[in-house]
Amino acid sequence: MGFEFTRLVDGADGETHLVEVDLPVTFVPGSLVSVAPLPATKMTYVEYPEDREQITPGWHPTPHPRHFMMSLVGGFEITTTSGDTKRFGPGDWVLCDDLTGKGHITRGLPGRRVNLVVDVPDDWEIPDA
């Protein structure tokens, strides 16, 4: 088991999909610590208003640049054009990588919601498992 996250991606069928990814990790010599280095260009703390279910209304692709989003407090739910729906809570990671397709809908779950957004380079490719 490695660094597990969900990838939000444009499919060849023209629809947006959620794909589960298990990124390989390496172990620090002499310890039980595992690491998965990720290239990052920027990291942003985002706190959303509690009284607003959809931050970006309606169907939309991920705004450039592609990025990881991780819930720190509260949670959110993503629905894709292919009909996939998944809830994300504290510690869950999603790679928002649907930059050109029909997009998705993101709904905040009730209560306080704080995310960490980590931009990744356009040319970064997910390493093979």
Kindly report the CATH number assigned to the domain that includes residue 99.
Answer: 2.60.120.10
- 9 in a domain, yes or no? yes
This prediction has a pTM of 0.91
pLDDT tens column, 15-74:
999 999 999 898 888 888 999 989 999 999 999 988 777 777 889 999 889 999 999 999
Rounded to whole angstroms, the maximal C-alpha distance in the chain is: 50
Report the percent of the chain where pLDDT is more than 70.
99
- 127 in a domain, yes or no? no
**Residue numbers of the domain that contains 8:** 3-26+38-119
- 124 in a domain, yes or no? no
Distance CA 27, CA 31 (A): 7
123 pLDDT higher than 90: yes
Is 4 within 8 Å of 92 (Cβ atoms)?
Answer: no
Domain count, the chain: 1
